[in-house]
């Protein structure tokens, strides 16, 4: 028989109601008041919130960077996600220059094969369109975009930063955006003016400014704001929907809102770290320890946090993700001692996203529980073309369900986390509100009450989710 979750409060993006939820097999069979027990396994959710499992649309598992590889593979990364209540990830396949998107797709599918423990999908990062084909009159890469959409990859990532490695020029970006518009695909953009930033970086290194602190100072919020405006303007010209990833500061937010007010199909996420960490608090320029917080875009001045929270509440920002890209402090961040350019960029966060968003968002009165659900699950599913399968507690959808205990106290620490790093960005922080039980397609995969943090499912049970091209929900 099924699993019947009784006496809980079901929270959607718009309302909270006392409802029972019946799971049959991998799907939600019924959501109603007073569902009969009929021999089902009854789970008493008294006092708990019943929410859709979290969806983190920005992670980098098993990703090569500067001669090393991010510390979480698909097994530890997805298990850490589940421990924190997240049941679906979208990671990035990175096309390298001179190679095809198909190759990148195959490489990333191989990384996850037999390892992913919750469901996942991929964005395709486009770095090269290859040569033209005389017969078809179009570059190879543009045709490959069609193939990728057919594979269920309905979002393409474009980098305006990292010249010579990932950055593409405006012309190439515009071509991809035109093609994306024709395919109803979504363009995800890392918006920073990489060329200008590289000039500042070189000047700082020449002046002997090599500590982690200078990584943050070398990447001005203005460089991000300029690129944010440019990305949205180009997408608007091309008729494409655009999603700005990891928007970190008020200047960029102003650019986003301006273009939204002009009718551009523009969406954006921010990440947990920008909401609660700052240059002043985490990287004042005093020690090598600050390498733990070297990621891109960098931490900003603390005053930027309030406008980001306001934008999460009022809808200018649609999603909170993590940009989870973990590197160990002892032997990986170490690669950049004496030269901040060589510090692997990224931090561990996938496990703590919901805890941080709840504690500093809902508990602090900045967002409602319904908005929490919208930002963490419902909007990501809608924007990224999987709302018929994920992101809501509704009949027929995958039974990715989170039983959330609003009173549970939890202390974040590297000593107890599932992520494979030797540090936490939130070490020792006490939060209130945590996942009690987590179901992935109807299977109880985490029970933080009985066996805290332990992954109860089989390794490799996670499935690749094909996503529809729906132009970020604007279609
Ligand atoms: Zn990223």
Q: What is the pLDDT of residue 181?
A: 98
CATH number of the domain that 156 lies in?
3.20.20.140
Which of 161, 155, 305 lies closest to 219 in space, CA to CA? 161
Tell me the CA distances in angstroms from 243 to 157, 247, 317, 329, one per residue in order: 9, 10, 10, 31
Task: Kindly give the distance from the C-alpha atom of residue 81 to the centroid of ligand 1, in angstroms, as a whole number.
Answer: 16
Q: Residue 33: exposed, middle, or buried by beta-carbon count in 10 A (0-12, 13-18, 19+)?
A: exposed
Whether the CA torsion 293, 243, 303, 407 is positive or negative: it is negative
Residue 211 maps to a domain: yes
Contacts (Cβ under 8 Å, ≥6 apart) of 214: 204, 285, 340
| DSSP classification of residue 296 | S
Residue 32 maps to a domain: no
Residue 197 maps to a domain: yes
Residue 9 maps to a domain: no
Spans of the chain below 70 pLDDT:
133-137
Length of the chain: 475
Task: Kindly give the distance from the C-alpha atom of residue 425 to the centroid of ligand 1, in angstroms, as a whole number.
Answer: 16
Query: Do residues 143 and 136 touch, judged by C-beta distance below 8 A?
Result: yes
Determine how many CB atoms are found less than 10 A away from the CB of residue 202.
12
Query: Do residues 87 and 400 touch, judged by C-beta distance below 8 A?
Result: yes
Task: Kindly give the distance from the C-alpha atom of residue 346 to the centroid of ligand 1, in angstroms, as a whole number.
Answer: 8
Over residues 409-455, the pLDDT tens digits come to 999 999 999 999 999 999 999 999 999 999 999 999 999 999 999 99
Residue 374 maps to a domain: yes
Residue 292 maps to a domain: yes
Contacts (Cβ under 8 Å, ≥6 apart) of 398: 26, 27, 28, 119, 389, 390, 441, 442
Task: Kindly give the distance from the C-alpha atom of residue 373 to the centroid of ligand 1, in angstroms, as a whole number.
Answer: 22
Query: Do residues 350 and 73 touch, judged by C-beta distance below 8 A?
Result: no
| Interatomic CA distance for residues 466 and 36, integer angstroms | 34
Task: Kindly give the distance from the C-alpha atom of residue 67 to the centroid of ligand 1, in angstroms, as a whole number.
Answer: 17
Alpha helices in 119-249 (DSSP H): 140-150, 170-183, 194-206, 212-217, 221-238
Task: Kindly give the distance from the C-alpha atom of residue 348 to the centroid of ligand 1, in angstroms, as a whole number.
Answer: 12
Phi, psi angle pair for 171, to nearest 5°: -65, -45
| Interatomic CA distance for residues 170 and 217, integer angstroms | 25
Which of 399, 340, 414 lies closest to 41 in space, CA to CA? 399
**Token pair in block for residue 424:** 């936490």
Task: Kindly give the distance from the C-alpha atom of residue 335 to the centroid of ligand 1, in angstroms, as a whole number.
Answer: 20
Residue 474 maps to a domain: no
User: Where in the sequence is the domain holding 172, given as residue range(s)?
Assistant: 54-393
Q: What is the pLDDT of residue 133?
A: 66
**Token pair in block for residue 348:** 């561990």
Tell me the CA distances in angstroms from 209 to 2, 212, 290, 297, one per residue in order: 61, 9, 14, 18
| Interatomic CA distance for residues 466 and 445, integer angstroms | 22
| Interatomic CA distance for residues 325 and 339, integer angstroms | 20
| Interatomic CA distance for residues 468 and 475, integer angstroms | 11
| Interatomic CA distance for residues 75 and 253, integer angstroms | 35
Task: Kindly give the distance from the C-alpha atom of residue 60 to the centroid of ligand 1, in angstroms, as a whole number.
Answer: 6
Query: Do residues 116 and 76 touch, judged by C-beta distance below 8 A?
Result: no
Task: Kindly give the distance from the C-alpha atom of residue 192 to the centroid of ligand 1, in angstroms, as a whole number.
Answer: 12
Report how many domains make up the chain.
1
Q: What is the pLDDT of residue 475?
A: 78
Task: Kindly give the distance from the C-alpha atom of residue 433 to the centroid of ligand 1, in angstroms, as a whole number.
Answer: 27
| Interatomic CA distance for residues 346 and 40, integer angstroms | 44
Determine how many CB atoms are found less than 10 A away from the CB of residue 379.
25
Q: Residue 42: exposed, middle, or buried by beta-carbon count in 10 A (0-12, 13-18, 19+)?
A: middle
Query: Do residues 288 and 340 touch, judged by C-beta distance below 8 A?
Result: no
Task: Kindly give the distance from the C-alpha atom of residue 36 to the centroid of ligand 1, in angstroms, as a whole number.
Answer: 46
Residue 142 maps to a domain: yes
| DSSP classification of residue 170 | H
Please report how many Cα atoms fall inside a 13 Å half-sphere around the Cα of residue 227, on the Cβ side: 34
Query: Do residues 233 and 259 touch, judged by C-beta distance below 8 A?
Result: yes
Task: Kindly give the distance from the C-alpha atom of residue 45 to the centroid of ligand 1, in angstroms, as a whole number.
Answer: 36
| Interatomic CA distance for residues 273 and 257, integer angstroms | 21
| Interatomic CA distance for residues 107 and 124, integer angstroms | 12
Task: Kindly give the distance from the C-alpha atom of residue 127 to the centroid of ligand 1, in angstroms, as a whole number.
Answer: 15
Q: Which residues pair with 167 in a beta bridge?
A: 159
Task: Kindly give the distance from the C-alpha atom of residue 323 to the centroid of ligand 1, in angstroms, as a whole number.
Answer: 5
Phi, psi angle pair for 21, to nearest 5°: -130, 125
Phi, psi angle pair for 231, to nearest 5°: -60, -45
Task: Kindly give the distance from the C-alpha atom of residue 212 to the centroid of ligand 1, in angstroms, as a whole number.
Answer: 19
Q: Residue 71: exposed, middle, or buried by beta-carbon count in 10 A (0-12, 13-18, 19+)?
A: buried
Which of 267, 271, 270, 465 lies closest to 385 in space, CA to CA? 465
């Amino acid at each position: 028989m099924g699993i019947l979750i009784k006496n809980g409060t079901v929270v959607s993006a718009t309302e909270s109601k006392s409802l029972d939820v019946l799971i049959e097999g991998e799907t939600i069979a019924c959501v109603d008041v007073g569902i009969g027990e009929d021999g089902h396994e009854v789970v008493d959710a008294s006092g708990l919130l019943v929410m859709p499992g979290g969806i983190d649309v920005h992670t980098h598992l098993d990703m090569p960077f500067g001669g090393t590889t991010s510390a979480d593979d698909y097994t530890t990364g997805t298990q850490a996600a589940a421990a924190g209540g997240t049941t679906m990830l979208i990671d990035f396949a990175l096309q390298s220059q001179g190679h095809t998107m198909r190759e990148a797709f195959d490489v990333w599918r191989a990384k996850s094969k037999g390892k992913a423990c919750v469901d996942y999908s991929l964005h395709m990062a486009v770095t090269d369109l290859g040569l033209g084909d005389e017969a078809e009159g179009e570059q190879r890469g543009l045709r490959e975009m069609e193939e990728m959409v057919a594979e269920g990859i309905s979002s393409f990532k474009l980098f305006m930063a990292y010249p010579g490695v990932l950055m593409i020029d405006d012309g190439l970006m515009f071509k991809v955006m035109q093609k994306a518009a024709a395919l109803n695909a979504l363009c995800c953009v890392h918006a920073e003016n990489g060329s200008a930033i590289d000039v500042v970086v070189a000047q700082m290194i020449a002046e002997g400014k090599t500590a982690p602190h200078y990584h943050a100072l070398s990447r001005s919020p203005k460089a991000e704001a300029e690129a944010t405006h440019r990305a949205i303007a180009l997408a608007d010209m091309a008729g494409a929907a655009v999603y700005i990833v990891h928007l970190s500061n008020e200047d960029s937010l102003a650019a986003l809102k301006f273009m939204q007010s002009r009718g551009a199909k523009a969406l954006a996420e921010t990440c947990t770290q920008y909401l609660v960490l700052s240059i002043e608090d985490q990287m004042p320029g005093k020690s090598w320890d600050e390498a733990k917080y070297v990621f891109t875009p960098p931490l900003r001045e603390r005053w930027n946090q309030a406008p980001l929270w306001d934008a999460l509440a009022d809808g200018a920002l649609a999603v909170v993700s993590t940009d989870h890209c973990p590197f160990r402090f002892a032997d990986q961040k170490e690669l950049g001692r004496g030269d901040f350019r060589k510090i692997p960029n990224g931090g561990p966060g996938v496990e703590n996203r919901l805890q941080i968003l709840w504690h500093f968002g809902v508990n602090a009165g900045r967002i409602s529980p319904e908005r929490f659900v919208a930002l963490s699950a419902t909007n990501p599913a809608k924007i990224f073309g999987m709302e018929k399968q994920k992101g809501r507690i509704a009949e027929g959808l995958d039974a990715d369900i989170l039983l959330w205990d609003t009173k549970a106290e939890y202390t974040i620490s590297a000593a107890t986390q599932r992520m494979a790093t030797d540090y936490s960005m939130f070490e020792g922080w006490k939060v209130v509100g945590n996942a009690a039980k987590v179901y992935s397609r109807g299977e109880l995969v985490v029970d933080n009450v009985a066996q805290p943090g332990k992954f109860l499912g089989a390794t490799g049970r996670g499935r690749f989710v094909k996503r529809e091209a729906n132009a970020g929900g604007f279609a």
